Amino acid sequence: MKITKQDAKNGLISVIPENLDDIWHLHNIIQEGDLVTGLTYRTAEKKADEEARSKKADKKPMVLGIRVEKVAFHEFSDRLRIQGTIEEGPQDLGSHHTLNISAEDHNYITIKKEEWKAHHLQRIKEAVDQSSKPHVVFVSLDEDTATIAILHQSGLQKIADVESHRSGKMYDSSDVSSTYFGEIISVLKPFIVPEEPCPLVILGPGFTREHFSNYGKEKQPDLFSKQHLIATGNAGLNGIQEALKMGLADQIVKDNRVALETQHINSLMEEIKKDGLATYGFDQVKAALNTGAVERLLISDQHAKTKDGEHLLDLAQKTHSNWTIINTQHETGKAFQGMGGIAALLRFKISN
């Protein structure tokens, strides 16, 4: 994400989203009541005689500012829909309109808030910092099936499943293995730029990952220049989740938000199991924040946008506690939301 303008006095920031993660960050920043301005397309006003001559309305590009009523983000759609009423623009003030924001358009949008909270500004900074960092590509495979997925800051995106179509031991036939591995590589190619290769994590049970790695290094060495092999008990998405939960990929994906959130939630669960330095639930976490006992507040993105969530985040800032807003798009985040979506890792034990 690029910041093109920042005006603290008037409470506005202009940004250009550059990728899917930026769209996801904007989904968590823009809230009901904000004024968002951007390039859009709307039917131009026509005179009565023009309308009579043209049944088909032409949509013209124009810059409109809308007062936000609803924000919708569809996972991995690369598009954010911002609905509201038009407050600024050349026409139709007071009418409803939807701004469609896409990273592919490379257009700026301006967000104006009555108050920019600390967690909003932190997320803007994170989006700017992460813009130059590569994503991580996973190939999770066994002799039967390979799952290719990309780990974004916003979550794990499954790209494809590739079947080996083997009969018996795959390595009894070099033709079967080369066809299987060749198809996997053809799926990988669009997502790995040889000039700036991203980490490629190959994982799964047995020896298939080693065979695939060797094949890849021989056939497409540029694509495999940053490969990492990890042994897991499962293949598929379950194998990737296993690697993330067990910390097997920590050094590879250490700057990835999903990995960090998974680590925090795993630490929380460990502390809860042993009745240690953790608490959960709105009232319990609020009490812990008020006593200065919270080392890190964990709150789901769904709760962070509520009044209670904003209150907890304000308390965290005032008591110098760290905080992490958990993305509920990925599996661990969904599980966290399922247990209430509000918890804290503590500096010291407090009495209930």
Q: Read off the pLDDT of residues 51-61 as tens digits, 9 standing for 90 and up.
A: 544 555 578 88
Give Cβ neighbours of residue 132 (< 8 Å, ≥ 6 apart).
none
Q: Contact 184/146 with Cβ under 8 angstroms?
A: yes
Q: How confident is the model at residue 176 (pLDDT cuts 50, 70, 90)?
A: low
For residue 226, what are its two tokens?
Answer: 């940053």
Confidence of residue 151 (pLDDT cuts 50, 70, 90): confident
Phi and psi torsions of 6, nearest 5°: -140, 115
- For the entire predicted model, the pTM comes to 0.63
Q: How confident is the model at residue 153 (pLDDT cuts 50, 70, 90)?
A: confident
What rounded mean pLDDT belongs to the chain? 86
Residue 77 has what pLDDT? 63
Say whether 53 sits in a helix, a strand or coil: helix
Residue with tokens 């701004």: 99
Q: Look at 91-100, 131-140, 263-272, 339-348 and tell me which has the smallest mean pLDDT.
A: 131-140
Of 255, 31, 7, give the one whose Cα is nearest residue 129: 255
